[in-house]
Chain A
Amino acid sequence: MAVTETLRSGAWRVVELLTTPLVPADYLDVVAPLRNPGVLRAKIEAVRPETRDSVTLVLRPGRGWRPHEPGQYVRLGVDVDGVRLWRAYSVTCAPGGLSVTVNAVPGGAVSNYLIGNARRGMLVHLDLPTGDFTLPRPRPGKVLFVTAGSGITPVMGILRSTLPELRDVVVVHSAPDREAVVFGAELRALAAEGRIRLVERHTRTEGRIGPAELAELVPDLSERDTWACGPNELLDALGAYWLEAGIADRLHVERFRPTVIATGDGGKVTFARSGTVVEADGGVPLLEAGEAAGVLMPSGCRMGICFSCVLPMTEGAVRDLRDGQITTAVEGDNVLVQTCVSAAAGPCHLDA
């Protein structure tokens, strides 16, 4: 056993020597990009419009994919105007396939790009499914899904997979109007068949649902395990209500929007590895701020052309001192910034 392993790894080392300093997969990319085990990609197989500003992408993942758990999300890496931007999308189909539904975000770079330009055959980058917005086993007896807008997407993924295993499901969904309800026809069909109880709220004419009204619409609310997904205001309000009612552990929440990044002048810079925290002025390069605090910072030309000072920013905002441009990162990101020409524009975290 060990001998075959050694032989196999030895043989692979020889194959790698054929392509060094590249890896064999880099040449494979030239002919079969989906077969690259090191870089996960997906091909768009179909593009289906859902509502006037949402579109479902049916994807075929490449090698290295593993099936998702209903309710989880994937990150898609899309090259928009030459820059690779990553966004998270809930998986809306049952395990075994991969489809996501993209909702247009006003001014959003990726959503609007995909809705306008996604075509069959396009390649996008992919990350493995993740997230804990999933139903436990054994399945809960009574379930409530509270969603608004694009928040319906993870719930749709759950309904399309797990509905046969659920006895009692209530879906309370809010959207501006009837036509804006993503998966509207499918949800109404399920309700008509009696598989779910659907409460549809059209906020433009009927106003928004608050937790108190929700409690009236769903009297046995406290007996239900609840999954909620939608705008932060809704989720915050639900969270407070559930907490006060003493049933906070029965509410599961999925947020789509990160906390807002403050882009003032200067800010607190946290250097993750050394644990150093520096209050940096908005005109001082991160490099100097770090060095002054005794952090070991890589550097080079100290003028922005050699890229030796580049460090990953995992969270926060920085301003390029050369042109004032702001670069932001949210948790989970790993945006590389040149510390010698960037200053803090709000709190930020550097992996150094």
Chain B
Amino acid sequence: MTTLQRKSANPIAHLSADDIEAIGRELDAIRDEVVASRGERDAAYIRRVIRVQRRLELGSRAVLIFSLFPPAWLIGTAGLSIAKILENMEIGHNVMHGQWDWMRDPKIHSTTWEWDNASPAEQWKHSHNELHHTYTNVIGRDNDLGYGIMRVDEGQRWHPIHLGQPLWNFVNACFFEYGIAAYDLELGRNLPSKKRRRAPEFKARLKQVRRKIGKQVLKDYIVHPALSGPSFLHTIAANATANLVRNLWTHSVIMCGHFPEGVETFERNSIEGETRGEWYLRQMLGSANINGSRLMHIMTGNLSYQIEHHLFPDLPSNRYQEIAPKIRDLFQRYGLSYVSGPLPKQVGSAWAKVFRLALPNRGAAKLAADAPRPPAPGRGPANRWQRPSEESLSTPVSS
């Protein structure tokens, strides 16, 4: 098990270049259909979710004013946890992806949304929308493969520190919103180097993060507790618990997106000159879904449709469920594996990988990972945005 390019049995060996471009065209057609039919129903959906979330949060925080009383503490904390999860997943993540920009509502727009999370929206959008979604699952380019603290693929070099990675992963899960902030700041890369940590751009981003964390901490641990008077300490505990619940839940869901067994990773040089069709294919192979109820889908922010989301990150999240059957069918017709499973199974699979790869490669995995790196396709710069015209299918397109 290593990158797709080093596998002895290549799961896409049966696809020709024309097949891949045909996949691209079919997916573009599905995309066009959704874009053409976006309308009132979708706008009403996101507005309803926002309304529900804000009412839930307002109500929960009001209940927590009386958090001294155990029933109030329980109800308030549960409500606040759900509200924070909804805000981060179904609302924040999706709005920041530009999924609702088409509505031209400045209040629900990727350029203005700030989410209830330690990491500033601007920095999240860069590391997530730009980097993760462009370089999905490419070893050495997609830092979501382990968040810089773990190795999740045989193709990633082992280091003794990885022996502790189950623990690092658990700590990261508990403090995930801070983990995301640190990740977006690329602290692992920037702090060790004196030059990098003194760079004005880094210092500015650090300041931005400090201010965001400052406001979040004041809100959850000072101002709201103060508002609850004698329930001060109980409210602090309630808010801390809600944040913890949200961190653990989002961390688990996000792990299910790209870590479970069956998800492919890719060589760095394999994406040179990548076409639109090839990018689509990489998204298909590099993502995994979660099966579950409607409630589960909304609590994961529809990231249970990770495959659909990675194919179309900017389409309204409520549409992923609708197009999933078509996507599944596409996988089947082209002989590809649609990785999906129930939540406990997927989370278990991801954690199993974390444990397994805490140790250095052995046996067949070691052989595969140590195999010589396959050569690059030797093409020009990638032009993933360009839809192929009929004539340009077999000739490389230069930009």
**Chain A residues at the B interface, C-beta cutoff of 8 Å:** 14, 17-22, 26-27, 29-30, 39, 79, 81-85, 285, 288, 300-308, 310, 321-323, 335-336, 340-341
Contact = CB atoms under 8 A, between A and B. Distances in A.
A336 B314 contact: no
A20 B219 contact: yes
Contacts of B313: 305-306
A215 to B, nearest CB: 46
A18 B225 CA distance: 10
A322 B29 CA distance: 11
A307 B97 CA distance: 7
B134 A81 contact: no
The size bracket of the interface on B is: 35 or more
Interface string B270-281: 000000100100
Nearest to B215: A20
A20 B220 CA distance: 10
Contacts of A304: 314, 385
A284 to B, nearest CB: 9
A281 B134 CA distance: 26
A300 B103 contact: no
Contact of B130 (A27, A306, A322, A323): A306
Contacts of B276: 303
Nearest to A39: B107
Interface in B11-62: 28, 32, 35, 38-44, 51, 54-55, 58
B133 A306 contact: yes
A61 to B, nearest CB: 18
26 contacts: A17-B215, A17-B219, A17-B222, A18-B223, A19-B219, A26-B107, A27-B58, A30-B54, A30-B58, A82-B42, A83-B43, A85-B104, A300-B125, A300-B134, A301-B133, A301-B384, A303-B385, A305-B129, A305-B134, A306-B97, A306-B130, A307-B97, A307-B129, A307-B314, A310-B110, A322-B28
Contact of B39 (A81, A302, A303, A340): A81
A308 B125 contact: yes
Pick from B35, B212, B223, B276 the residue with the most CB of A within 10 Å: B223
B186 interface: no
Given A20-B216, A83-B102, A305 B133 contact: yes
Given A302-B384, A308-B130, A322-B385, 13 more contacts: A17-B215, A27-B58, A29-B54, A30-B55, A82-B40, A301-B129, A301-B133, A303-B134, A306-B125, A306-B313, A336-B111, A340-B385, A341-B385
Pick the 10 closest A-B CB pairs, nearest first.
A82-B43, A306-B129, A307-B98, A21-B114, A300-B130, A303-B385, A81-B39, A303-B384, A301-B134, A84-B104
A154 B63 CA distance: 52
Contact of A307 (B39, B58, B111, B399): B111
Contacts of B55: 30
Contacts of A302: 384-385
Nearest to A325: B35
Interface in B214-232: 215-216, 218-219, 222-224, 227
B115 interface: yes
B116 interface: yes
Pick from A30, A82, A303, A340 the residue with the most CB of B within 10 Å: A82
B287 to A, nearest CB: 14
Contact of A17 (B43, B110, B223): B223
B101 interface: yes
Given A21-B116, A84-B105, A310-B110, A300 B43 contact: no
B116 A79 contact: no
A310 B223 CA distance: 36
A21 B54 contact: no
Contacts of B218: 17, 20
A75 to B, nearest CB: 13
